[in-house]
Amino acid sequence: MGLNNQWMQRDLAVLWHPCTQMKDHEKLPLIPIKRGEGVWLEDFEGKRYLDAVSSWWVNVFGHANPRINQRIKDQVDQLEHVILAGFSHQPVIELSERLVKMTPEGLTRCFYADNGSSCIEVAMKMSFHYWINRGQPAKKRFVTLSNSYHGETIAAMSVGDVPLFTETYKALLLDTIKVPSPDCYLRPEGMSWEEHSRNLFAAMEQTLAEHHDTVAAVIVEPLIQGAGGMRMYHPVYLKLLREACDRYGVHLIHDEIAVGFGRTGTMFACEQAGITPDFLCLSKALTGGYLPLAACVTTDEVYSAFYDDYPTLRAFLHSHSYTGNPLACAAALATLDIFEEDNVIENNKALAQRMASATAHLADHPNVAEVRQTGMVLAIEMVKDKASKTAYPWQERRGLTVFQHALERGALLRPLGSVVYFLPPYVITPEQIDFLAEVASEGIDIATRDKVSVAVPKDFHPGFRDPG
């Protein structure tokens, strides 16, 4: 028995993995990773895998980055953790100062959580509580986009709309209002992204006109709907939404957990619309992919609604044990240093262009409906019929075939259903991008053959997207 197999057997005896049907691992080997370096992950038998999905979208500057490593090592010798209620520490103060400085004007206060889902809950609770403190308790509903995903805690699921993640838990979810997404994959032939996104805003305008008296906030994933299949839309939608939220007296929550810190081509996606949301939710790349940390950055207007004498009970009594953890804040500070010192956003433009050119040929593939890109995120949508954009039945798990082929070739490509995507660390080289394009092309060719290589179960939830 090889080392990988030994570790796999020990794992399967005791672990329950996230977003996984564990029975898959009766046939699909689990891959234990021993070490990482740069864009590479290495298993216990020395095989390497290029991490094309940044280990669930968190890693920006490579595994075992020496600059982030050193900052954490220095911090662990000084202070590992302290309660953030009534106490503070240098890393969290410096990180908050830098986030306020680098985020859009008007965002002045940082509230910390442990992960993206919890950060969404913070923003939703703050908005809801704000309206109570301002004497408008009827404003307690949330408006969200179809096909959206904001996390997997209860409130975060409530504002999501990917049935695979929400259908089972319907009875637990909040009553939210969903409007059609400006997703440009669905635009009519010949229509531009901007025109389609403008047209789709009419539904949001009508919803706010009818329901603003009972709506606390609108929540969106700006520019890219990640777990919904890397679907993308034009920044004009965000500009129109900001104007409408101001008009109707509704908060705007931007979930930039996946798309912040350069993924869309600018440091934050909202910059491309020239707007400031009322709440900016950040996580994932915030610590360079090292440690769990999330920041909900908001305005003085929101902050002031909670600032009062204690007996009024207007305070925001929300907490996490590891709020503002010094080690995580140190990793975040090192990550921000790299952004500042290495001209990352500008350098990414050349990498994004290489991703586009390396995959351009796939636009002509008979089973590829679209190759779309926003900044450092590129997605390739496989379909059964190109002309009609008819999707493959999700049960066929075509993306799984691409995933398995990529592993054989030494790449971690974990498609979202039939959507193959690149979301790599920013330290990737042009040659490594070419390698990923080659592997993806081969995998798509194999996956779109008429014969499906995996068993197809009986229909359970039509229209669900298998996460790959």
> What SS3 state is found at 37?
strand
What DSSP assignment string belongs to 297-337? EEEHHHHHTT-S-GGG--S-----TTTT-HHHHHHHHHHHH
Annotated ligand binding at 127? The verdict is no
Annotated ligand binding at 322? The verdict is no
Annotated ligand binding at 242? The verdict is no
Q: List Cβ<8 Å contacts ≥24 apart for 299-305.
A: 299/106, 299/107, 299/108, 299/109, 300/108, 300/109, 302/109, 302/126, 302/127, 302/130, 302/251, 302/278, 303/108, 303/109, 305/129, 305/130, 305/133, 305/134
- Alpha-carbon span 219 to 331, nearest angstrom: 28
Q: Using alpha carbons, select from 465, 453, 448 the residue that is nearest to residue 383.
A: 448
Annotated ligand binding at 149? The verdict is yes
What DSSP assignment string belongs to 283-304? -GGGGTTSS--EEEEEEHHHHH
Annotated ligand binding at 459? The verdict is no
Annotated ligand binding at 321? The verdict is yes
Q: Using alpha carbons, select from 154, 121, 116 the residue that is nearest to residue 293.
A: 116
Which structure tokens are listed for 468?
């790959």
Annotated ligand binding at 320? The verdict is yes
Residues whose CB falls within 8 Å of the CB of residue 437, separated by 6 or more in sequence, listed in order: 355, 358, 359
Annotated ligand binding at 116? The verdict is yes
Which run of H or E residues covers position 244? helix 236-248
Task: Compute the radius of gyration of the chain from its Cα atoms.
Answer: 22
* Annotated binding-site positions: 56, 116-117, 149, 255, 284, 319-321, 414
* Annotated binding-site positions for pyridoxal 5'-phosphate: 116-117, 255, 320-321
* Annotated binding-site positions for substrate: 56, 149, 284, 319, 414
